[in-house]
Structure 1
Amino acid sequence: MERRQFLTTGATLAAGAALPALTAGAARAAAGARPADRLPPRAEIVAVLRRVADHWIGAHADPGDNQWARATFFSGLMALHRLTREPRYLAHARGWAEKHAYGLHNGVTTRHADDHCAGQTYLDLHALDATPDPAKIAAIEDSLQRMVRTSAEKHDDWWWDDALHMAMPPFARLGALRQDPAYWDAMHALYTHTKSAEGGPGLYDPAVGLWYRDKRFLPGGIASPNGRPVLWSRGNGWVAGAHTKVLGVLPASHPHVPEYRAALVGELTALRAVQRADGFWNVNLADPEHLPGPETSGTAFFTYGTAYALRAGLVPRETFRPVAARAWNGMVATAVHPDGFLGYVQNVGDRPESSQPVGYGTTADFGVGGFLMAGAELAKVAGS
């Protein structure tokens, strides 16, 4: 099958193929007379974000471990804190970081990207201090420095696309904080392996602008029951999140910025063609018949990337603002419960079949974090 074929199918779907009428109707009801492709005002977005964050915090008195899933939640909570300056959110994040002594799962010798995700929140907390406390970032800095020193010889650690979100942002931020481009050089070497060498051709498919989760899914490997490619939604969501966070840190003059921008824009362009009529994306972006239905975590990260690209002027406003609006309105109408519980989140996994079925009552910490990131970025795009 030609790699481009699924985009045509997805475009037909986005244009109005048969989907449950309930989702579109619920979205219109939630927004009153507002069209689904129009963003709500900023205050309305913030109110939803607060409801979702407050529900999660209220239901999880123990802030949890310092592994990637909970760390992604706290990355989202810190994005909401920066937007609202709510002291409770900052206190909850500090309590979590202090519980783990600002350390990394598996210690400073780890090279595993998942273990580095916690460093994003540690860096957030460090940046807020009037007098920065070096102890807050000592572990993440030590661990990444070890990788920087060996990056010329070993740069194949990020063998799955999720790794880009977990580890690229700390590399980018430490490079900026220390004014040391060695972090950015190491990050690019690791990124280039993932993109262009892992499994042979790399996990990025330039013909369609999307990424395979890992080498098992490259052409000739794992396919959908219909024989189509498996391009996992959340895997591509992690990629969108990575590029968004890195581009928010690197100076515009940095030589690799055009490459990172092109990868994000290419991905968003491909995603626009396969967005569902209800605003969501399916778990397999290449096959709308493969476990079809709303899924929040991938949708949230795509919304996050689209909102950033709009704000940064990387994509046309008239083309992509409706994409972001449909996604946000769809999630709010379909996935957000009245009490703030966030549903339709596919739990831990590595492919569309993982943690199925996905429904109104399925949630996860990283999905909530992605939703908070999306809304916090989108609030900057929306008007008052």
Structure 2
Amino acid sequence: MNKLFSTLLILLLIVTHSIASPKDNKKYFRESYIKKTMKKALDWQLKHPKHQLYDWTNGAFYAGVFAAYETTQSPKIWKAMYEMGEANEWKPGPRLHHADDHAICQTYIDMYRISGEKKMIEPFHETFEKFISTPYKGKGIHEITWWWCDALFMAPAAFVKMGVTFQDDTYFEWNDKLWKECYDLLWDKEYHLYARDMSYKWNEPGIEAKKEANGKKIFWSRGNGWVMGGLVRVLSELPADYPNRDFYVTNFREMAESILALQQKDGLWRASLLDPASYPGGEASGSGFYTYALAWGINNGLLDREKYLPAVEKAWVGLNGLIQPDGHVGWCQPIGADPKKNFKAESWEVYGTGAFLLAGSEVIKLDR
């Protein structure tokens, strides 16, 4: 009986904690609080480096670091980014055609726009010239260049940022071509979400469909978070009159509609979007990218404020609940290619922090 009483008490405390009053939640939206929390998460992460600095994981992290710099104008953050660039010699990763190895260049370009130091972008410019002159050779499910949905966060923004910076449509054209190939391969017209790669597509000849315990299709939360984050970063750059801009706008709005419907009561999203019951609590990286994307959509007039603002507010409160006492962003699924249950409060990754920082950089702009 005592054990039953203790269990019921714990459940009551959890429910009471999760249903905080609007008054209690106001602090999460104060500018001073957002900046303080972003700095706390960033400081912890900088003290706990992981992976090669040019790695895709750090590409996502430093995208968030730059967003934190824009938000706070902290010289300390600029110094951290500059030291990263110097350590990398401002180079992309070593794989010419692999989108992951282009992700870190987003930060180089953003920094170049402020400092004007050409060394920050010359290596990526040289890499791009080799990229477009060297045929990609892939086989099977890797037949196209960007064959996995994560790629749509990694390379497209770097391409488009270079196109804007140098007023060179070649970068736009290559992004359009490669993104559309990925879209045609992985976009699900029923759910308006992206499969992670061809091995998760249904009704494809020669491919045995993978499915969740509830029999539904597998749509990985972080994978679709990568795409929504990538859409934001492309749309933030493309000129308003760019001929193919509407394709990205439509893709963004369709995904936003689906993601809104899949948000859970705690404001977060589960590692598997269509089978939340089979997975633990809210996952930090996917939820962070969705919060970033939806908040950006409101701030830039692409999403209806009345419809989406409550979801963003719930999501931001939920994300703050994942910050651990030492400052690290917990409940982050480790590196993988599909939903997994292998994470908990202590679980962290640099891209989880990056997603949180990106989210904070847009939530702070909301007109509430």
Same fold (TM over 0.5): yes
The equivalent residue for 2:104 is: 118
Question: RMSD over aligned Cα, in angstroms?
Answer: 2.3
Segment drifting more, 69-78 vs 218-227: 218-227
Aligned partner (choices 323, 327, 337) of residue 311 of structure 2: 323
Q: Percent identity?
A: 28
Aligned equivalents of 2:296, 2:15: Cα separation in 1: 25
Instruction: Look up the equivalent residue of 1:349 and give its one-letter code.
Output: G
> What is the match of residue 326 of structure 2?
339
8 Å Cα contact 1:240/1:301 also seen in 2: yes
Mark the CA change 1:307 to 1:81 in structure 2 (over 3 Å): closer, same or farther: same
The amino acid across from 1:336 in the alignment is I
What corresponds to 1:203 in structure 2? 186
Cα offsets for 1:329-348 (capped at 9, x unmatched): 01112x11122111000010
Deviations 1:239-297 (A, max 9, x none): 00110000000111111111101111111110111100001101111112232421010
8 Å CA contact 1:161, 1:213 repeated in 2: yes
What does the per-residue CA deviation read over 1:62-90, in whole Å, with 9 as the maximum and x for residues that have no partner?
Answer: 89521100121111011100111001111
Alignment partner of 1:308 is 2:296: yes
* Superposition pairs of residues 11-30 of structure 1, within 5 angstroms: 25-27=16-18
1:219-298 correspondence to structure 2 within 5 Å: 219-220=202-203, 221-298=209-286
C-alpha spacing 1:314/1:360, structure 2 compared with 1 (3 Å): same
How far, CA to CA, are the matches of 1:63 and 1:218 in structure 2? 30
Secondary structure of 1:381's match?
coil
140-149 or 370-379, larger mean C-alpha shift? 140-149
CA distance 1:165–1:21, shift in 2 (3 Å): farther
Choose which of 150, 153, 159 in structure 2 pairs with 1:165. Answer: 153
Where do 5+ consecutive residues of structure 2 fail to align? Answer: 1-10, 204-208
Unaligned stretches of 5+ in structure 1?
1-19, 197-201
Q: Which has the higher contact order (CA 8 A, sep 6+)?
A: 1
Aligned to 2:35: 46
2: CA distance, partners of 1:232 / 1:192: 20
Q: Residues 278 and 21 (structure 1 numbering): CA distance in 2 closer, same or farther, change over 3 Å?
A: farther
Label 1:82 to 1:63 Cα distance change in 2 as closer, same or farther (>3 A).
farther
Matched, 1:89 2:77: yes
Task: Assess if the C-alpha contact under 8 Å between 2:159 and 2:175 holds in 1.
Answer: yes
The answer to whether the aligner puts 1:138 opposite 2:138 as a matched pair is: no
Please give the alpha-carbon distance, in whole angstroms, between the structure 2 residues aligned to 1:92 and 1:370.
18
Structure-2 change in CA distance of 1:266 and 1:32 (3 Å): closer
Rate the CA distance shift 1:347–1:63 in 2: closer, same or farther, 3 A. Answer: closer
Q: What is the CA distance between 1:41 and its match in structure 2?
A: 2.4
Count of paired positions: 349
Q: Check conservation: 1:63, 1:96, Cα contact below 8 A.
A: no
